[in-house]
């Protein structure tokens, strides 16, 4: 197996390899949870294993384009060009960036 693994539906290991620098610590994505928390805000929690430690990163996001595109993708309804994203790969990169994983 490679250094970057995803068990999140819709995100492949190859997507993880593209997103992270090849010299980054190995990371395993277990999942992303997106829940409404009021007034156009969404609670974003991502679950990772980094250096054999479980890490949960919690963020609040307000990017409705991303929320709508992500929800469509999780329901197998995403189509390229929807919600202002050129393709599913762009949605993945934006969501991974939104998780805050690069801040660790």
DSSP label at residue 24: S
CB 28 within 8 A of CB 20: no
Task: Give me the sheet containing 27-38, strands edge to edge.
Answer: 4-6, 27-38, 41-50, 53-61
**Plot region of 16 (φ>0 → left; ψ -120 to 50 → alpha; else → beta):** alpha
Give the helix/strand (H/E) hosting 53. strand 53-61
Sign for the CA dihedral angle at 66, 21, 18, 25 comes to: negative
- Residue 1, pLDDT > 60, answer no
Task: Report the predicted TM-score, pTM, of the whole model to 2 decimal places.
Answer: 0.87
Residue pointed to by tokens 């929320």: 67
Assign 3 a pLDDT band (cuts: 50, 70, 90): confident
The pLDDT assigned to 11 comes to: 95
pLDDT digits (tens, 9 = 90+) for 31-86: 999 999 988 899 999 999 998 899 999 999 999 999 999 999 999 999 999 889 99
Selection from 3, 47, 44 nearest residue 23 by Cα: 3
Please count the structural domains in the chain.
1
Contact between 67 and 43 (Cβ < 8 Å): no
SS3 56: strand
Instruction: Tell me which residue range forms the domain holding 53.
Output: 4-103
């Amino acid at each position: 197996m490679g250094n970057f693994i995803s068990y999140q539906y819709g995100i492949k290991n190859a997507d993880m390899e593209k997103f992270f620098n090849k010299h980054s610590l190995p990371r395993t994505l277990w999942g992303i949870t997106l829940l409404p928390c009021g007034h156009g805000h969404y609670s974003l929690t991502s679950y990772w294993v980094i250096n054999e430690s479980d890490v949960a990163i919690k963020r609040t996001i307000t990017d409705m384009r991303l929320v709508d595109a992500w929800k469509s993708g999780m329901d197998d309804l995403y189509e390229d060009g929807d919600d202002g994203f050129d393709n599913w790969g762009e949605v993945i990169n934006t969501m991974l960036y939104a998780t805050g994983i690069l801040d660790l």
